[in-house]
Amino acid sequence: MTTIPPATGANPDRACLHHEFHVQANIARVQPDEDADGMPKAFVAEISISCGQCGEPFRFSGLSAGLSYAHPMVDVAETTLHAPIRPASADPDFGMGLPGFAIRRTV
């Protein structure tokens, strides 16, 4: 895979078939306030995808905008997925109950 700088957007005068992809993934740890050395309260995977040829960003479809530790959401541009994750050994409610936010469109 070739890494190129992200483009500002698609070029409508030059169609790209998007045969190659660039994936950026980060893992965020939500640390407890009182003990920065202990087990985090939650983990979140942040994933962005762009075309490896033209740099056009891809959007994640069908998700609400915001941040939740209970279910996946996207940023306002729909180009970054925020997905809560947990260690396989953690309880299913790991990370639940933490505050988040949602952005709603009004018409």
pLDDT tens-digit map of 32-90: 767 666 778 899 999 999 999 999 999 999 999 999 998 999 999 999 999 999 999 98
Q: Is 2 inside any structural domain?
A: no
**Residue 10 pLDDT grade (very low, low, confident, very high; cuts 50, 70, 90):** low
Residue 94: per-residue pLDDT: 85
Q: Which domain does 37 fall in, by range?
A: 26-103
- Around 95, how many Cα atoms within 13 Å sit in the side-chain half-sphere? 23
The verdict on residue 71 lying in a domain is yes
Tell me: pLDDT of 1 over 70. no
Res 3 pLDDT > 70: no
In a domain? residue 21 = no
Which pTM does this prediction carry? Answer: 0.76
Q: How many domains in the chain?
A: 1
Tell me which residue has tokens 């050395």: 37
